[in-house]
Amino acid sequence: MALISSILALRRDARILKLPPYLSALCIIVGVVWLLVLPLNEYSRNTYVSENALLPGQVHTYFTGSEHNIFRAYRHEVAGLVDKPLEEKTQKLGDILQSSGLKVATQKYEYHSSGRTISGQNVYAILQGPRADATEAIVLIGAWTNMDGVVNHSGVALVLTLARYFKRWSLWSKDIIFLIAGDSTAGPQAWVDAYHDSHSPASIEPLSIKSGALQGAIAIDYPAGPWGHRFDKLHIVYDGVNGQLPNLDLFNTAVSIASGQMGISCTLQRMWKHDDSYQERLQTMLRGMISQGLGHASGPHSSFIPYHVDAITLQTVGDGWHDEMSLGRTVESLFRSLNNLLEHLHQSFFFYLLMQANRFVSIGTYLPSAMLIAVNFTITSIALWVQSGRPKQDPTPTSTDKIPSKTDMVAVKQDNMIALIPEASLAVIERSLFLPLAFVSSAHFLGLAPLYIFNNIPEAVLTPAFHTITALTLLLPHLTAYTLSLFHRPSRQETTLIQCLSLLLVGMFLSALATLNFSLSFLVGICAAPLTFVRPIFPPPASGGSAASSTFVAKNRIPLSLAMSALLSVVNPMVIIVGATRYWGADIVDVLVQAAEGWHVWGLWTQVVVWLVWWPAWFAGAVVVAGSVFAVPETETGKAKT
Amino acid sequence: MAVDTQKTLLFCAAAAVRLLLFTVFPSLPSLLGGRVEISTPVTSFKTLQEGLFLYSHNVSPYDGGVYHQAPLLLPLFSLLPNPSIYPFATNLLYTVIDLLGANSLMQIAESCQSTSPRLFTSPRKDLRWSNIAIGASFLFNPLTIATCIARPTSALANFFILTSIAKAVQGASITSVLALSFASYISLHPVLLFPPVLILCYDVRATQLKMAPSPLKFAFIHISGLVIALSALLCLSFLLTGSWEFLAATYGVRLLLPDLTPNVGLWWYFFTEMFDSFREFFLGVFWLHMASYVGGLMFRLRRQPLFVIATLLGIFAIFQPYPSIADTALYLAFVPLYRHVFPLMQYSFLASSTLLYASFLGPAFYYLWIYAGSGNANFFYAITLVWSLGLSVIVGDSLYAVLRDEWEVERPEMRGKEVRRIV
């Protein structure tokens, strides 16, 4: 009790109240520095396969010789189908799979987003494992077109060859599903949704044949044309939708088989050259974080991960001496490893940041960095809460002889020490919470408007809509502040409370988000960090005398507020989105179309975070700052009570 | 008249919000009904459907081993059209239950039992919120709305508890006991509220009659009333189902905790981890712990029986075997009645932030555990601990504030002073 009451007494110490901005800044700095030291050898670890059953690279692979002729034949068959109508293509691919002795089925799908129609057809075949009881299955995916829209000639041909080849083995103890998806994002999504019966039956056909629970999925992206192309490296793509990642064991197995058994070097996050220096590790990690933060589908495997099916895409890159047979043997060995699994992949990490094909940091090491960023908002919020409960202080006298002699002092005695404290610093005034609560909750509801608009308007009007909403976003805080000032609201205390509640919510959302999607939480946290440090500048009370209005801040109230408003405008979500797309050379309409497709097809949540967490927080902060421009001096004083 | 208009407006708005949510998002009830935070094995609307199906096919509803709710709910709900085809009637029923509960709450607020009961008048009694504000804080509490949309039967129990207390503060003690026996019949633990409700009835009757009735006689009449009402309900259930097996399937499940589905409470994790040989012992300890608050609070807060009830509801929301946010919503409905002691509460910001954080982190961690497969049970349990901590802070802090309020009547010179331990 004594400890609690001394802590309670401490919160009234004026020095404590000065501390939080510095503490918040410290949290942010430590959070960022924390992230920057992760690539060092002392903080990251070498990857290792922790699931014993996988035994990567322990089997001899037999995918050679005459299979090569079959592969070339299939590649020409595939090349002949490129310009054929959808039905004929599906029919032909189904026939090829059927001729290998597999059960074949097809699935039509159709999605609508941004006024476009995404439609196609999936073909898939099931190999019933000779030693399996149809309770578990692994998937081999070859999407007809890859993420860049290029026809995946050799990838599809390799899937067809492997289907024929795998069928002859008697050692499969899991079913194998060969999926030739219509495209790289919507097709696998439609298929995996229908596999788990969570599709919308109106536009997506149900699957006519199914197998057991999916244990893993491997996608092949090898767009070499009918005459082949030798590649240099394997690019392993592992990001799932909403930043979920596959179990690290799957990634490690792929790396260990490709580089250890086949001698193909592996790369990730489009780092074509990687000589394991600090800069390159950091760059890989940051690219991984941005990709995870955006949460978009990065390959045909991405749709599988939300269903707790670990999946990766193997993409061939560069000019080298590895041919399709090495890739085929890699996939064969990978499937033999997955075939060994006794239970779902669970041993290794689900939350990690990779900085090179065999170097990673796990969640325990990196999570504090995002949490520190989130905590900085909470610290300031608590400080503002305490500040809002303090009675308004008299303007600081300029010289000591002006100390009013009649200040009420209270004697506080503790542990034989007596201190005289001005009564005012002990009193807590009543907080009027209604307006702040209503304001903050309506700001968060207001975010629903852009969320709805961007996800539902057609592509043609996206550009004008984006510019209109950007302009509105920049103007709205000033308009709101002006409108509120007409009613002489919000008062000083209400302004503080608006900022307090808004920061409290941001801190809460970001710390919850950090557990789901670390990178998004970190990126939004960094972009929203200035909101912690802006403060409204209140006009001195009308009756306050000349001493108060002669300080620098009071004299330059309006220019300072305008400067803060301008600073906030720069970190506005819309401005940052525009800046980021310019920096990476992307087109804003493409980004918005992708986001809408993500919303309707993949179940992407990134825009919910942007519009319902980040945007309202920025809006509340901007209104608080803009309020100082329009604020009029107050005359009434807060009621003090015990 | 103005108050009546406000009340009508409030009720219309609350009903509109609920019916709108029901109509605009038809999948919301089943989504929320499947959340472990709202529906427990003993209150879930889905298992009620299961029981109803068996009952309407003349099979004992307890045969499937899924239905653990009171038998008399079955004829009540079988009167309504099938909720999977015509959900409107059921939705309307739950909306009306919420509104009636809010009405009772406003009657409780009107009686001023929270600020000036018979034996005590708070020095801060003028600091209170209007009845409309108190009703609104219940009706527009997101937890209440979520409960109403998910349609667990704990909403019914909450309604009976509120009615019982409202009747008690009006002096209708027999009706109050009757309503409490309905609540106890549905969810067992409200029977622990009987002693404070009895005292509340006694105090109100003593005020109304200007002279205190004989305590023994008063207690005897009401205890027999409770026993008769409960036995009548149980006999009726026996007649309905034709056997006594419902006792084991309903109260047995609440007492012995065979179903360890996760919920926001503290029991499930503890009992999944426990060796079977200690199970009975700890069941006894946990129940005894929860029940033991009744006696202590009643002695210490004899002068404020309504606050004893409110605090007990908070304790039930934390420590009962199958708690859900419906219980929290009921407790939080009573907190605004004690507006006058808010200035004395020291941790209100801490407690409300804790609850806010927990209510967002809870579903996130549950998702990581169940759906993403990348977390485990400890994640969710950690958050339920935080949730319970937040609630206990509110319970403890309000208790402190009320005691301090009482103390300042005796020691007016200590107003506004910091508490310090005197060694």
* pLDDT digit string, tens, across residues A590-624: 999 999 999 999 999 999 999 999 999 999 999 99
Highest mean pLDDT among A262-266, A393-397, A584-588, B206-210: A262-266
- Average pLDDT, integer, range A625-635: 75
Cβ contacts of B151 within 8 Å, gap of 6 or more:
B29, B33, B45, B90, B91, B94
Q: Is A8 on the interface with B (CB under 8 A)?
A: yes
Q: What is the pLDDT of residue B1?
A: 52
Q: What is the pLDDT of residue A404?
A: 45
- Which chain A residue has its CA at the smallest distance from B356's CA? A508
Q: Is B416 on the interface with A (CB under 8 A)?
A: yes
- Which chain B residue has its CA at the smallest distance from A423's CA? B416
Q: Is A516 on the interface with B (CB under 8 A)?
A: yes
CA–CA dist A44, A38 (Å, integer): 6
The alpha carbon dihedral of A160, A163, A165, A167 has a sign of negative
Q: Which tokens is A572 given?
A: 């506005």
Global pTM value:
0.88
CB contact under 8 A, B420 and A5: yes
* Per-residue model confidence as pLDDT tens digits over B37-54: 999 999 999 999 999 999
Q: Mutual orientation of helices B142-150 and B154-170 as an angle, nearest 10°? A: 120
Does residue B71 sit within a domain?
yes
Closest Cβ opposite residue A516 in set B343, B364, B420: B364
- Which chain A residue has its CA at the smallest distance from B370's CA? A308
- Average pLDDT, integer, range B299-317: 95
- Average pLDDT, integer, range A488-509: 90
DSSP A598: I
- Average pLDDT, integer, range A155-175: 95
Q: What is the pLDDT of residue A373?
A: 94
pLDDT at A405 > cutoff 80? no
Lowest-pLDDT range, A271-285, A404-418, B89-103?
A404-418
Amino acid at A158: L
Contact map slice: B 367-406 vs A, CB within 8 A:
367-368, 371-375, 379
Domain annotation for chain A: domains and CATH numbers: 2-38+369-398+407-627 (no CATH), 52-357 (3.40.630.10)
Does residue B422 sit within a domain?
no
Percent of chain A with pLDDT over 90: 69
CB contact under 8 A, B421 and A382: no
Amino acid at B127: L
Q: What is the pLDDT of residue A187?
A: 95
Q: What is the pLDDT of residue A640?
A: 36
User: How many structural domains does chain B have?
Assistant: 1
A4 Cα distance to chain centroid:
40
CB contact under 8 A, A509 and B360: yes
- Identify whether the C-beta of residue A511 lies closer than 8 Å to the C-beta of residue A374: yes
User: What residues make up the domain containing B323?
Assistant: 3-411
- Identify whether the C-beta of residue A638 lies closer than 8 Å to the C-beta of residue A330: no
- Identify whether the C-beta of residue B64 lies closer than 8 Å to the C-beta of residue B50: yes
Q: Return the bridge partners of A235, or none.
A: A267, A315
CA–CA dist A144, A154 (Å, integer): 10
CA–CA dist A494, A430 (Å, integer): 11
Q: What is the pLDDT of residue A632?
A: 67
Residue B264: burial class (beta carbons within 10 Å; 0-12, 13-18, 19+): buried
CA–CA dist B74, B43 (Å, integer): 13
A559 Cα distance to chain centroid:
37
The alpha carbon dihedral of A560, A562, A566, A568 has a sign of positive
Neighbour tally for B56: CB within 10 Å? 13
* Residue B292 phi, psi dihedral angles, 5° rounding: -70, -20
Q: Which tokens is B90 given?
A: 């059921």
CA–CA dist A283, A269 (Å, integer): 9
- Chain B residues inside the 8 Å CB shell of A641: 343
- Average pLDDT, integer, range A20-48: 94
pLDDT at A416 > cutoff 80? no
Q: Is B30 on the interface with A (CB under 8 A)?
A: no
Confidence of residue A412 (pLDDT cuts 50, 70, 90): low
- Which chain A residue has its CA at the smallest distance from B423's CA? A2
- Which chain B residue has its CA at the smallest distance from A352's CA? B374
- Chain B residues inside the 8 Å CB shell of A426: 416, 418
* Residue A175 phi, psi dihedral angles, 5° rounding: -70, 150
The alpha carbon dihedral of A275, A276, A277, A279 has a sign of positive
- Chain A residues inside the 8 Å CB shell of B31: none
Does residue B421 sit within a domain?
no
Confidence of residue A408 (pLDDT cuts 50, 70, 90): low
Q: What is the pLDDT of residue A543?
A: 55
- Which chain A residue has its CA at the smallest distance from B383's CA? A512
Chain A nearest CA to B364, separation (Å): 7
Does residue B65 sit within a domain?
yes
CB contact under 8 A, A8 and B343: no
Confidence of residue A394 (pLDDT cuts 50, 70, 90): very low
- Chain A residues inside the 8 Å CB shell of B353: 378, 504, 508
* Per-residue model confidence as pLDDT tens digits over B158-208: 999 999 999 999 999 999 999 999 999 999 999 999 999 999 999 999 998
pLDDT at A403 > cutoff 50? no
DSSP B249: I
- Count interface pairs A-B at CB distance under 8 A: 60
Give the count of alpha carbons within 13 A of A360, CB side only.
22
The alpha carbon dihedral of B233, B238, B244, B247 has a sign of negative
Does residue B417 sit within a domain?
no
Q: What is the pLDDT of residue B22?
A: 93
pLDDT at B406 > cutoff 80? yes
Mean of the per-residue pLDDT values for chain B?
92
**Pairing state of beta strands A175-180 and A116-127?**
antiparallel
- Identify whether the C-beta of residue A355 lies closer than 8 Å to the C-beta of residue A39: yes
Q: Is B365 on the interface with A (CB under 8 A)?
A: yes
